[in-house]
Amino acid sequence: MTSSNPPPVLPDVAYDRAAAARPLDWVGMRRIALPLLVAGDGGQPQRVPASADIGVDLASAETRGIHMSRLYLLVQDALSTKPLTAAVLRDLLRECIDSQSGLATTARLTLRWEQLLKRRALASDNAGWKSYPVEVDATLSPAGVEIVLSFGIDYSSTCPASAALSRKAIADRFETDFANDDAPSKIDVHEWLSSPRGLAATPHAQRSRADVRVTLREGVDALPLLELVDAIEAALGTPVQTAVKREDEQAFARANADNLMFCEDAARRVAAVASTSPHVARFDATVSHFESLHAHDAVARVSGTVGG
């Protein structure tokens, strides 16, 4: 039998007077586990495991603490049941501030998850899943709302200098091997190029990474993650692959030859996409080439404000 008695009135020491009167910049929780509904391939909702940081300022200098359980419940209720959009984030942040009964003026929410996207093979009729780390940082303050979308993209980079030196080594070997033949036949050249002698050197390549951070324009609702990932991968030309048969590996080698890149080149390609996106107000990108030649990485960073 269910009791009709009202719940007991319990003490709430959060309203106690603070030992030292001082406002606090941020009070909240980090690494809250929750299922998150995000847009997947084709815009279909995809449920992913995520973590959340949620907090508010404690503007009331003399109040001892905030109501953390209210923040926790609001985050769980809003984000585990509704697809993630900028509008959902704005509403949630407003509710978080309102839940503190006048103690707070600013709320900040950070979400982290791994986005799975299905990627077609380059040549064969295959596909596979690739994981992209994503972070959304949303803040509501008296100055307004700011939503920042961050993500990482892995790609391959082949060094232009190394490629030029390799071509020179191949040309020098060709000159040596055909020193006594002023007019080698097409068949002889083809056989030489197809043999181990035809590969005197190979340019060094390495897995690389673009870490992109964009501040969204006011009025943007859908988070443009898939659109930006697709555009940046197309601009780089050599995103890492999933399912790979021999014909795919050959196509990947050709893509690398067509897209020789220093880290400076890669950074400019990323910037060209971010700076022309209608969804982006500001961007900051760091590209890192995890060198196979050196024991250190080659890194370039680029940032900018997108005109209205």
- DSSP element (H, E) containing 211: strand 205-216
Cβ neighbours of residue 41 closer than 8 Å, sequence gap 6 or more:
117, 118, 226
Tokens of 295: 């024991």
Cβ neighbours of residue 48 closer than 8 Å, sequence gap 6 or more:
35, 36, 38, 113, 114, 115, 116
Task: State residue 82's pLDDT score.
Answer: 86
Task: State residue 41's pLDDT score.
Answer: 81
Task: State residue 283's pLDDT score.
Answer: 98
Task: State residue 242's pLDDT score.
Answer: 97
Superfamily grouping for domain 22-159+204-305:
Urate Oxidase; (3.10.270.10)
Tokens of 288: 């890192």
Cβ contact 287:268 at 8 Å: no
Task: State residue 187's pLDDT score.
Answer: 96
How does DSSP classify residue 10? -
29 burial level (CB within 10 Å; 0-12, 13-18, 19+): middle
Tokens of 74: 């609001």
What's the CA gap between 140 and 270, in Å, rounded?
A: 28
What's the CA gap between 80 and 45, in Å, rounded?
A: 12
The model's pLDDT over 159-177, given as tens digits with 9 standing for 90+, comes to 999 999 999 999 999 999 9
Segments in the chain below pLDDT 70: 1-3, 10-20, 308
Domain boundaries, the chain: 22-159+204-305, 161-198
Cβ contact 78:111 at 8 Å: no
Cβ contact 192:176 at 8 Å: no
Task: State residue 31's pLDDT score.
Answer: 97
Cβ contact 216:86 at 8 Å: yes
Task: State residue 18's pLDDT score.
Answer: 57
